[in-house]
């Protein structure tokens, strides 16, 4: 079952800004919110903009204008709780992926939370985060009321680093950069996990973990610790067969305090560009973005090196940092150059997985160079070049 919208939140408010071509709304406007369910019945209906319905039932849940955005998280929470109640009544285990709109731009607060602005030094971000905190609390209270809180894994995390460039409708971070960049500020996110009796309360783990690790980790907690290996060999799930490479690790040992992280590397991709890689404590930067996400990606002749345990804010290579002069950095770089042997091994291994399991689609880009490349390829194909 799904209830929500299919875009980044700000796309849903686009039609309500001055200058939006209302006569083209049915051609370029965002799809309304959707309430849908998986089905065994194959619906051959083809919707003009959205394609064939297939094995699902879809209900139009209406547009999402700014006024509705004030309280749409109440709707999402209501459907979440109803889904949990249904599973409990049917005595079935359940998986819920709850994605409230807080805190994604643009933030339109309900009167209840807007009243917090200006109090205790709260701004838009802090008031919105209070609503998010209340949503988490409501889910935890519901699990307790259902009597399943002791046997439920709860994970609270987010999908990318802080979006500082829309502040005050955005957060802040001590790390370098922000969302859309391959610096730590673009990738590092908090993650909190709870599983009474399994994950020790009040502990902090500093092992490397990626959002891609959650699928194999949660699958292991449900009884299948081998899902990644099985999918590489080919596995039937439901009525479909899959043969895919999951770039994730089962991290249940680390979460339960039984062992270290199984992940040694983190890949920092900006769209389709490999901007950096972390191996252990060391990060190797191949691309810099001095003007942030909208700016150019400068490919470096020689990668920059950071020890993220000693330099988590990536300051050693900054010429404005007190000890970060170019001469000092080159001395540091020369002493650590031998580490690139490990980088070459990791990148080669990643490339091999892309050959055996080609990417299903290329990363999105707003750069029109991709359009130019497509035109050139079409012209060459037409002329047999």
pLDDT of residue 366: 67
Q: Is 336 inside any structural domain?
A: no
Q: Is 137 inside any structural domain?
A: yes
pLDDT of residue 315: 86
Q: How distant, in Å, are the alpha carbons of 8, 62, 253, 328, 376 from that of 321?
A: 36, 52, 39, 11, 44
* pLDDT above 60: residue 323: no
pLDDT of residue 101: 96
How many Å is the maximal CA-CA distance in the chain?
Answer: 69
* Prediction pTM value: 0.90
Average pLDDT over residues 157-163: 93
pLDDT of residue 45: 97
Q: Is 291 inside any structural domain?
A: no
Q: Is 301 inside any structural domain?
A: no
Name residue, tokens 């770089």. 333
Q: Is 380 inside any structural domain?
A: no
Q: Is 274 inside any structural domain?
A: no
* pLDDT above 90: residue 156: yes
pLDDT of residue 326: 63
Query: Residue 281 — very low, low, confident or very high, per pLDDT cuts 50/70/90?
Result: very high
* pLDDT above 90: residue 98: yes
Q: Is 168 inside any structural domain?
A: yes
Count of structural domains within the chain:
1
For CA atoms 252, 253, 255, 260, give the dihedral sign: negative
* pLDDT above 90: residue 89: yes
Residue 211: which CATH number?
3.40.720.10
Query: Residue 208 — very low, low, confident or very high, per pLDDT cuts 50/70/90?
Result: very high
Q: Is 208 inside any structural domain?
A: yes
CA 217 to chain centre: 16
Question: Domain range holding 251?
Answer: 2-264
């Amino acid at each position: 079952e799904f209830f929500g919208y299919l875009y980044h939140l700000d796309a849903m408010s686009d039609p309500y800004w001055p200058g939006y071509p209302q006569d083209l709304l049915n051609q370029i406007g965002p799809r309304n919110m959707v309430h849908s369910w998986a089905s065994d019945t194959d619906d051959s209906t083809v919707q003009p903009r959205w394609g064939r319905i297939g094995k699902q039932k879809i209900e139009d849940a209406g547009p999402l204008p700014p006024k509705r955005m004030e309280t749409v998280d109440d709707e999402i929470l209501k459907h979440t709780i109803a889904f949990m109640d249904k599973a409990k009544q049917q005595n079935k285990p359940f998986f819920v992926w709850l994605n409230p709109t807080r805190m994604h731009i643009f933030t339109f607060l309900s009167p209840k939370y807007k009243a917090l602005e200006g109090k205790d030094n709260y701004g838009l971000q802090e008031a919105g985060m209070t609503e998010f905190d209340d949503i988490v609390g409501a889910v935890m209270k519901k699990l307790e009321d259902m009597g399943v809180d002791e046997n439920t894994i709860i994970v609270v995390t987010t999908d990318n680093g802080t979006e500082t460039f829309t502040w005050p409708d955005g957060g802040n971070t001590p790390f370098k950069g922000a969302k859309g960049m391959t610096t730590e500020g673009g990738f590092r996110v908090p993650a909190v996990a709870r599983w009474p009796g399994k994950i020790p309360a009040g502990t902090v783990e500093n092992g490397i973990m990626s959002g891609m690790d959650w699928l194999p980790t949660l699958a292991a907690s449900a009884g299948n610790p081998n899902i990644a290996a099985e999918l590489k060999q080919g596995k039937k799930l439901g009525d479909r067969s899959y043969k895919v490479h999951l770039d994730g690790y089962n991290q249940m040992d680390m979460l339960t305090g039984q062992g270290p992280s199984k992940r040694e590397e983190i890949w920092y991709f900006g769209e389709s560009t490999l901007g950096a890689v972390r191996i252990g404590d060391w990060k190797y930067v191949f691309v810099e973005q001095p003007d942030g996400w909208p700016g150019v990606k400068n490919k470096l002749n020689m990668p920059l090196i950071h020890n993220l345990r000693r330099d988590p804010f990536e300051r050693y290579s900054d010429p404005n940092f007190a000890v970060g002069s170019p001469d000092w950095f080159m001395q540091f770089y020369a002493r650590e150059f031998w580490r690139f042997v490990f980088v070459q091994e990791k990148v080669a291994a990643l490339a091999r997985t892309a050959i055996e399991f080609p990417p299903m689609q290329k990363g999105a880009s707003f750069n029109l160079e991709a359009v130019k490349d497509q035109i050139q390829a079409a012209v060459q194909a037409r002329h047999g070049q």
